[in-house]
Structure 1
Amino acid sequence: MVLGIGLALLLVSAVGIVGLRVLVSRYERSIAQERLLDEAARQRRTAVQGPLNYLLVGSDLRANNPSEGQRADTIVIAHIPAGLDQAYLISIPRDLRVPIAGHGTDKINAAFSYGRVPLLSATVTQLTGVNFDGAAIIDFSGFRRVVDLLGGVTMCVDTRTRSIHTGRLFTVGCQQMSGAVALDYARQRYDLPAGDFDRQRHHQQLLKAIMVKVSDRGLVTNPLKIDQLVRAVGASLTVDTNGVPVEDLVFALRGLGAGDLVGLQVPAHPEMIGGVSYALLDDPAPGLFAALSRAEVAGWATANPKWINKL
């Protein structure tokens, strides 16, 4: 849904240029819509009324080798408070050790392999106590095209690292990145001081960088580029809107911009158990989950600045 937030900003900015209803209709037709959430994880309402919680899953399906299957490379809870004027991106460590119904104890991203979004959403709800207003799966191969259509994004590299996938060297400093380069950078973790936790922060930074580019006036005044982007975003997403029309979501989220994103890390640390690397929750984590359930995330973040990611 975070890409959807960016698209909402784009569509509303384009009012009077190509027509909001035409764009929304085209976008709605281009997206694959499914009932992704497990019924036990679903919030029981059909109107856009904050606070809202969306489950965002980044799939690592390999376009050149689909037989390898899919894993949840990224798991994010997007929490939008009652005022619909801010979005907290809460990254769940993919190696977090949790009980998974019918499969014992395993890494949380294994739930996606076992039962796709229904089982993953049920597992996240069991972990956090939070029910969801919707969900989205992002296909990373389509994600690259979105970034390229935006003309690339600016990412600020804070640690020199070399890609284990391509051998590409990332040097410190802010730089313009194409879709392939940005995705390559955002997926690195082995050569970084905080490992997967740095990778989570880079994912959040990439989402903000996309929203920055979406708000660029050169884009919103280019009907052809908007049309291409709408179709590219649609091809990259499978969504569950919980029965809410896409048009309602667009209008509800129209006030959100890149500066309204706050990145949070779930308090956890890495630990080896039986020769396997896991992430285990730290003491502040239950407080974060309780704050999510009570829609008091802003207060928790203020009291726990250590877990705020710099975006």
Structure 2
Amino acid sequence: MVGIALAVLAGVSLGGVKFLTTRLDHALHKANLLDNGARTGDAHLKGPLNYLLIGSDARVANPSMGHRADSIVIVNIPAGLDRAYLISIPRDLRVTIPPWPATGYKGGQDKINAAFEYGLADGAKLLSATVTNFTGVRFDGAAIVDFNGFKQVVDLLNGVDVCVDRQITSIHTGHVFTVGCYSMNGAEALDYARQRYGLPRGDYDRQRHQQQILKGIAQKLTDPSVLANPLKLDQTVRAIGATMTVDTNGVPINDLVLALRNMRAQNVNGIRIPSVGARVDGTAYNVTIPEADGLFKAIREGDVTGWAAANPKWVLRI
């Protein structure tokens, strides 16, 4: 999401990009989110790039940050820096979480999103260490996104367009999402993105819905009617900044935006990590299957595009 949220600004003139990224830079919360072992060695903008996106309802500066991560996404940007893959990690994925002496956590097998809780104030660092240990992927930056805050972003954009392919009744509000393509306001988009019960593939469908919302925001930001309204664009950019805490690995925000100026929302694709549901000692988990090793290798070696072409069943329609 770091790359996507910034790259969509590339539809503005270079002068406009500089102004907007300055505003964004001032609005963003900045923190050291990555464990040293999960971070790439050098600050650079030569692809491929990998960012860790954590969806949460809490900020880094908030003591309640210990809550479990609601979503975990690897944002892979291939060498051309003109497309991106949103690779969702199931929050119930069974992994080994490493010991974290700072909080007294001794390590062990658990659901991956528990790392965010066990790390307390350093939850993002422990989660990044866990993801790197499991996948071998190291990151060029990270972001924590307050999905509750995205309600304001969506409303500033006058809604986002989403295609619903199966009727869903919200377990939170009772709202019925009927089949079809239409605009959702902020509250509806957040509600839709959090549904997983009663869906054929449970959390896997929820991952796809979250990816749909993220792509919908990117598409709306590049709409000519938004780009032509400096006041609304400025308000939206600052609202995005207020919902995010970022670690850019030392790369200035303006440099990152300019490097990704050729990316477009239609070149954003979703990928589901090959995994299945399983019960271990009475607890429901997701566990990876052999195809996942190929995906992790492709991320490390910069060939996610090739892997996706060879494994279409794991590419999500968003």
TM-score normalised to structure 1 length: 0.94
Contact 1:51 1:82 in 2 (8 A): yes
Give the number of equivalent residue pairs: 306
Instruction: Show CA shifts across 1:227-246 (max 9, x none).
Output: 11111011000000000000
Q: CA deviation at 1:13?
A: 2.4
- Using the TM superposition, name which of 115-124 and 168-177 deviates more: 168-177
Tell me the residue number matched to 2:190.
Answer: 183
SS in 2 for 1:271: strand
Q: CA deviation at 1:69?
A: 5.0
SS in 2 for 1:19: helix
Cα-Cα RMSD: 1.7
* 1:77 and 2:81 matched: no
In the alignment, the residues of structure 2 paired with residue 235 and residue 67 of structure 1 have an alpha-carbon distance, to the nearest angstrom, of: 17
In the alignment, the residues of structure 2 paired with residue 9 and residue 281 of structure 1 have an alpha-carbon distance, to the nearest angstrom, of: 32
The 3 A distance-change label for structure 1 pair 20 and 305 is closer
Q: Which amino acid aligns with 1:53?
A: N
In the alignment, the residues of structure 1 paired with residue 11 and residue 46 of structure 2 have an alpha-carbon distance, to the nearest angstrom, of: 22
The 3 A distance-change label for structure 1 pair 4 and 233 is farther
Q: Percent identity?
A: 57
SS in 1 for 2:263: coil
Kindly report which structure 2 residues correspond to 1:33-112, keeping only aligned pairs within 5 A, or say none: 33-61=30-58, 70-102=67-99, 103-112=107-116
Instruction: Show CA shifts across 1:19-52 (max 9, x none).
Output: 3322221211110111100000000111211110
Q: CA deviation at 1:3?
A: 5.4
Q: CA deviation at 1:114?
A: 1.0
Tell me the residue number matched to 2:11.
Answer: 13
In the alignment, the residues of structure 2 paired with residue 145 and residue 171 of structure 1 have an alpha-carbon distance, to the nearest angstrom, of: 23
In the alignment, the residues of structure 1 paired with residue 258 and residue 287 of structure 2 have an alpha-carbon distance, to the nearest angstrom, of: 39
Tell me the residue number matched to 2:256.
Answer: 249
Tell me the residue number matched to 1:148.
Answer: 155
Kindly report which structure 2 residues correspond to 1:105-254, keeping only aligned pairs within 5 A, or say none: 105-115=109-119, 116-254=123-261
Tell me the residue number matched to 1:259.
Answer: 266
Tell me the residue number matched to 1:31.
Answer: 28
SS in 2 for 1:244: coil
Q: Which amino acid aligns with 1:219?
A: V
Tell me the residue number matched to 2:281.
Answer: 274
Contact 2:2 2:53 in 1 (8 A): no
Q: Which amino acid aligns with 2:6?
A: L
Q: CA deviation at 1:302?
A: 1.1
Q: CA deviation at 1:91?
A: 0.4
Contact 1:7 1:214 in 2 (8 A): no
Contact 1:201 1:309 in 2 (8 A): yes
Unaligned runs of 5+ in 1: none
Tell me the residue number matched to 1:302.
Answer: 309
Contact 2:164 2:178 in 1 (8 A): yes
Q: CA deviation at 1:165?
A: 1.2
